Amino acid sequence: MTSTAGYGTYPELGSPVWSMVDPTGSALTTATDREAPGAGFLPRTKRRLPAGVGSEIAAA
């Protein structure tokens, strides 16, 4: 199994914006949107799951 994470435009903040888990070669990717730097503590604003109906979740 392979696992990878990407840190987007601001890697120094240490907050991943996507991650990929590849248990069987299917490359399942989860993406996360966060507030812009300087706007607070970078809370998650949206999360997109690998696939399926309702795979995008807005933060409350």
pLDDT above 70: residue 54: no
Phi, psi (deg, nearest 5) at residue 39: -95, 0
Question: 56: exposed, middle or buried (C-beta count within 10 Å: 0-12, 13-18, 19+)?
Answer: exposed
Q: 20 versus 25: which is more confidently predicted?
A: 20
Range of the domain at 16: 2-58
Mean pLDDT of 3-26: 79
Number of structural domains (the chain) is: 1
pLDDT above 60: residue 53: no
38 falls in which pLDDT band (50, 70, 90)?
confident
